[in-house]
Amino acid sequence: MSLQQDLENRSGNQCELCTSTNSLTIYEVKPKLTGGGGVDGSLLTCETCVTQIENPDTTDANHWRCLNDAMWSEYRAVKVVAWRMLSRLRKEGWPQDLLDMMYLEDDELRFAKESGDHLEESEKIIHRDANGAILQAGDSVVLIKDLKVKGSSMVAKQGTAVRRISLDHENAKYIEGKVGPTQIVIITDYVKKMAEKE
């Protein structure tokens, strides 16, 4: 059975966050390294939810009142995204009440915190590329110089595209991504953010 079919069966063909049945798609919870991807790290979501998760500026707080139900899901990916969105919206008042009631296992909470949504803006570590552009989890970057990969004989060549990066939440200079089959840590000084169309 495909991932799409597994998630459709699990969700009853509806968004696992807001129960909409329109424009459903697979959403992989980032970063994949710590638990995203596959059935356990993915959920079936509608276009409205995905757009607001990925673009905080478009967030409509009232849409997320649906999390009152979704936060009790038995599925890890649904709980993690619910926690992240409630954390992002906690200044509204009601999301903080839901967060106070919510329970996550230690590993689920660690995974949920990977996004940094629970931090105040002043506490967040900002990752910037060589030109000063802000990098976010899921962005694509291109290497601007040849990089020797520690612990191997591999050299990641200048011009190599690294897609769907993840961020180190303790060090603003480090990101991670795949070069070929190898997951590597890259220093942000040696990358340039790719435009969406590249």
Asked if residue 183 and residue 134 are part of one domain, the reply reads: yes
Residues of the chain with pLDDT under 50: 198
pLDDT at 190: 92
Counted domains in the chain: 2
Asked if residue 158 and residue 103 are part of one domain, the reply reads: no
pLDDT at 121: 54
Give the DSSP letter string of the chain: --HHHHHHHHHTSS-TTT---SSEEEEEPSPGGGT-BTTTBEEEEEHHHHHHHH-GGG--GGGGGGHHHHTT-SSHHHHHHHHHHHHHTGGGSHHHHHHHH----HHHHHHHHTT-TTS-GGGPPPEE-TTSPEE-TT--EEESS-EEPTTSS-EEPTT-EE-S-EE-TT-TTEEEEEETTEEEEEEGGGEEEPPTT-
Asked if residue 134 and residue 80 are part of one domain, the reply reads: no
Domain boundary among 83, 113, 143: 113
pLDDT at 182: 82
What residue numbers bound the domain in which 14 lies?
A: 3-113
pLDDT at 119: 59
pLDDT at 124: 61
CATH code, domain with 156: 2.30.30.40
pTM for the model: 0.61
pLDDT at 68: 93
